Chains A and B, each alone.
Chain A
Amino acid sequence: MTFQRKHILGLEELSAEEITLILDTAESMKEVSARDVKKVPALRGVTVCNLFYEPSTRTRSSFEIAEKRLSADVLNFTLSHSSVSKGETLLDTARNLEAMGASVIVIRHPMSGSPWLLARELNSSIINAGDGSHEHPSQALLDLFTIREMKGKIKGLKVAIVGDILHSRVARSNIWGLVKLGAEVRVVGPPTLIPKYIEKPKVRAFYNLEEAIEGVDVVIMLRIQMERQESVYFPSLREYSRFYGLTREKLKNADKDVTVMHPGPINRGIELSSDIADDASSVILNQVSNGIAVRMAMFYLVASAGRSQ
């Protein structure tokens, strides 16, 4: 199959075949990253703009390295969170970047759906680098890539996603990707952070961590946003970590070869006990290098499809 999409906005709209093509292409890209000269000329002459409305050095760096390894010209445009509601509108800013020659725009934005607005109004290819609580496709794709690499497959696996599902774009994208590739997903967290309407075929909601991780092959821990403890979602971080923090003891319920993943950075002693965090960190480092390969694959495929339209 060939990739026909000009934009990658989320995993919801991608088919299992398209997701698999991205992962397969990422395998080839991972080889490039292993070379001494980590650069190929595929995107020479293409200008990519990283338009970030949230300070995320990790994600932005990963995109930037991916762009550079494909020989694209990179334009970084980072705006403060507050400029969303004040000053120039998102569309005006993006149109400006397009006028500077950007033909691919990578956007990170605190509001759900912002990449859709750009995709509708601009000529550039749009890659969603995380929008509000909606989707974070590159993170989910690199999680899928890492799981496939470690387990040899995705179909039939049992995967638990733990934490603040309500506000998590990583969870939403991972749910779509995992379900489409045939995994069984369990989401678990305090009832205030599990949306009422999250359950669907192959997605079950749990409020009890021990129950949820019974026999699972993979546990994806979400980062808890520290500022949420101030709100009414749970009484305190201490209480959260007591019920939903992953410890060696609780992990005994999972499959003996369970893989623990975390999008990083870890709040040690809150989401993960320190010893599990140590075990998990090797996976996390692998996730980071897989992230570059997956993003290279996204660029190659989008640039390819964008050309034919």
Chain B
Amino acid sequence: MSILIKGGRIIDPSQGIDGTGNVLIENGAIKSYPKTTKKYEQDIDVTVINAKGKVVSPGLVDIHVHLREPGFEHKETIRSGCESAAAGGFTTIVCMPNTNPVNDNASVTEYILLKARTEGIVNVFPIGAITKGEMGETLAQIGEMYEAGCVGVSDDGMPVMNAKVMRHAMEYVQAFDIPVISHAEDKNLSGAGVMNEGEVSTQLGLVGIPCASEDVMVSRDITVAELTGARLHICHVSTAGSVRLIRAAKKRGVKVTAEVTPHHFILTDEAVNEYDTNAKMNPPLRGKKDREAVIEGLKDGTLDAIATDHAPHSEDEKKVEFDIAPFGIVGLETALPLSLKLVQDGALTLNQMISKLTDAPSDILNLGKGTLKVGSAADVVIFDPEKEFTVDRNKFHSKSKNSPYHGWKLKGVVNYTIVNGKIVYTG
């Protein structure tokens, strides 16, 4: 089966392409960029998509997703998470190991990949745990998980507090050339914190998580990466301090990359007012200066990629006292329009923004995705960057609806998501 995408604005930062043209997909791969289309339009075996006025780009890549399966299927499953991804324009997602059981050995990795192959409609790559059970004590079966298909290791949500354990993890992964992905947080400094420490937390009487809690750990991890020579990737950067530290480390030549979530460049801790548990996540929403700093970091390349930290939780789990509500929000179905806000505000060009959601995240984990190169798998998103819509969480494909953007008016609607040459979502 073939697909012809006709007359769209093709933007592929991996090849430096930005121009109107046609894309031909054949046998699941990008076949060519034909100059004329008449021949294919007359062929009944070719599905023709008119992309006039739309953007055609590599399918989006999200390197930070919680799929919740196995163990928390009431929040999300691999199937529903993939559907949510497709609806958001993502063709590749990378899932974190904090499932139950934790993905700390090859059998869990294989289970996830099997489920993804049979039920998932987008590409799924798992991340393995750094330590057994994400307990921060002894190394997980990193080599076997790598063989089974893990593309990196992380104890996301449970920072490795022991620097010596982190050192050995960073040394060990170099045998497989995968990065260590750090959720950078000093748990002692965070204490019982539930939101950013600042004026808002003081007023609300909620225990704060200081920015220093992240900065201290980013600093430690960069230092250990320098010691070991490992590739370090910092998750969901939220503070001005982290941006500063990563910028300086990159300048020195440390092999460090970093991502930022849409909520950290869109929202501040003001969103917690009136105790909205859909504004509770970790790292927390920070102050205005931090938000400006992460946008600056995206602009100057300190922050390589945008990743959602898609963290589904059921309505019942979130409709409780703020202190006991779980951290996290869903993000797959709002990431593209929120990222487009950066373009509307003039912080990034459309090309830069697409790069941060395609080839840049793919390169961090060597996924070989996020490109429309001839011969590569046909993962494509077609979207209308100008079309306005109102976010309705009840229409999410994710099992969970924990989004702070419900009711927001945003621009950017996904028209088609194509994975390996197959249309998996039509908007």
Residue of A nearest to B274 (CB): A116
B144 within 8 A of A: no
Inter-chain CA distance A113–B201, complex, in Å, is: 11
A131 within 8 A of B: yes
> Are the CB atoms of A113 and B198 closer together than 8 Å?
no
Inter-chain CA distance A132–B207, complex, in Å, is: 10
- The 8 A CB mask of A110-146 against B (1 = contact, 0 = none) is 0111101100110000000001111100000000000
Residues of B within 8 A of A132 (CB): 205-206, 323
Residues of B within 8 A of A114 (CB): 321-322
Inter-chain CA distance A84–B206, complex, in Å, is: 17
Which residues of chain B from 284 to 321 have a CB within 8 Å of any chain A CB? 316, 319-321
Residue of B nearest to A89 (CB): B320
A69 within 8 A of B: no
Most B-side CB within 10 Å, residue of A90, A132, A172: A132
> Are the CB atoms of B204 and A90 closer together than 8 Å?
no
> Are the CB atoms of A91 and B320 closer together than 8 Å?
yes
- Closest chain-B Cβ to A113's Cβ sits at a distance in Å of 3
B203 within 8 A of A: yes
Inter-chain CA distance A198–B208, complex, in Å, is: 13
- Closest chain-B Cβ to A163's Cβ sits at a distance in Å of 15
Which residues of chain B from 321 to 342 have a CB within 8 Å of any chain A CB? 321-324
- Closest chain-B Cβ to A222's Cβ sits at a distance in Å of 14
> Are the CB atoms of A84 and B205 closer together than 8 Å?
no
- The 8 A CB mask of A137-181 against B (1 = contact, 0 = none) is 000000000000000000000000000000001001000000000
Inter-chain CA distance A169–B202, complex, in Å, is: 11
> Are the CB atoms of B275 and A113 closer together than 8 Å?
yes
Residues of A within 8 A of B204 (CB): 112-113, 134
- Closest chain-B Cβ to A71's Cβ sits at a distance in Å of 33
- With contacts A134-B205, A197-B197 known, what are 20 further pairs, Cβ within 8 A? A84-B321, A85-B324, A90-B320, A90-B321, A111-B322, A113-B321, A113-B323, A116-B274, A117-B275, A117-B322, A121-B319, A131-B205, A132-B323, A133-B207, A134-B206, A135-B205, A169-B205, A172-B203, A196-B202, A197-B201
Residues of B within 8 A of A172 (CB): 203, 205
Q: Report B's interface with A, CB cutoff 8 A.
A: 197-199, 201-207, 274-275, 316, 319-324
Residue of A nearest to B321 (CB): A111
Inter-chain CA distance A196–B200, complex, in Å, is: 12
Residues of A within 8 A of B324 (CB): 84-85, 111
The 9 listed contacts between A and B (C-beta, < 8 Å) are: A91-B319, A91-B320, A109-B321, A112-B206, A114-B322, A133-B206, A197-B198, A197-B201, A198-B202
- Closest chain-A Cβ to B205's Cβ sits at a distance in Å of 3
Residue of B nearest to A200 (CB): B199
A195 within 8 A of B: yes
Q: Report A's interface with B, CB cutoff 8 A.
A: 12, 84-85, 89-91, 109, 111-114, 116-117, 120-121, 131-135, 169, 172, 195-198
> Are the CB atoms of B323 and A112 closer together than 8 Å?
yes
Across chains A and B, which 5 residue pairs bring their CB atoms closest together, nearest first? A134-B205, A113-B275, A133-B205, A112-B205, A111-B321
- Closest chain-B Cβ to A53's Cβ sits at a distance in Å of 10
Inter-chain CA distance A167–B207, complex, in Å, is: 9
Tell me which of A12, A117, A120, A169 contacts B321 (CB under 8 A). Answer: A117
Inter-chain CA distance A130–B322, complex, in Å, is: 15
Inter-chain CA distance A113–B276, complex, in Å, is: 9
Tell me which of A113, A197, A198 contacts B322 (CB under 8 A). Answer: A113
Residues of A within 8 A of B275 (CB): 112-113, 116-117
Residues of B within 8 A of A89 (CB): 316, 319-320
> Are the CB atoms of A117 and B319 closer together than 8 Å?
yes
Inter-chain CA distance A85–B324, complex, in Å, is: 7
Residues of B within 8 A of A121 (CB): 319
Residues of A within 8 A of B203 (CB): 12, 172
Residues of A within 8 A of B201 (CB): 197
Residues of A within 8 A of B199 (CB): 197
Residues of A within 8 A of B197 (CB): 196-197
Residues of A within 8 A of B322 (CB): 111-114, 117
Most B-side CB within 10 Å, residue of A12, A133, A135: A133
Inter-chain CA distance A70–B321, complex, in Å, is: 31
Inter-chain CA distance A111–B324, complex, in Å, is: 9
Known: A112-B275, A113-B275. A195 touches B202 (CB 8 A): yes
Residues of B within 8 A of A116 (CB): 274-275
- Closest chain-A Cβ to B201's Cβ sits at a distance in Å of 8
Residue of B nearest to A172 (CB): B205
Residues of B within 8 A of A85 (CB): 324
Inter-chain CA distance A17–B146, complex, in Å, is: 66
Residues of A within 8 A of B320 (CB): 89-91, 117
- Closest chain-B Cβ to A243's Cβ sits at a distance in Å of 23
Residues of B within 8 A of A84 (CB): 321, 324
Residue of A nearest to B277 (CB): A117
> Are the CB atoms of B319 and A113 closer together than 8 Å?
no
Inter-chain CA distance A77–B79, complex, in Å, is: 44
Residues of A within 8 A of B198 (CB): 197
Most A-side CB within 10 Å, residue of B198, B206, B322: B322
Residue of B nearest to A113 (CB): B275
Inter-chain CA distance A120–B277, complex, in Å, is: 12
Residue of B nearest to A9 (CB): B274
Inter-chain CA distance A131–B322, complex, in Å, is: 11
Inter-chain CA distance A307–B369, complex, in Å, is: 61
Inter-chain CA distance A112–B274, complex, in Å, is: 10
Residues of B within 8 A of A112 (CB): 204-206, 275, 322-323
Residues of A within 8 A of B319 (CB): 89, 91, 117, 121
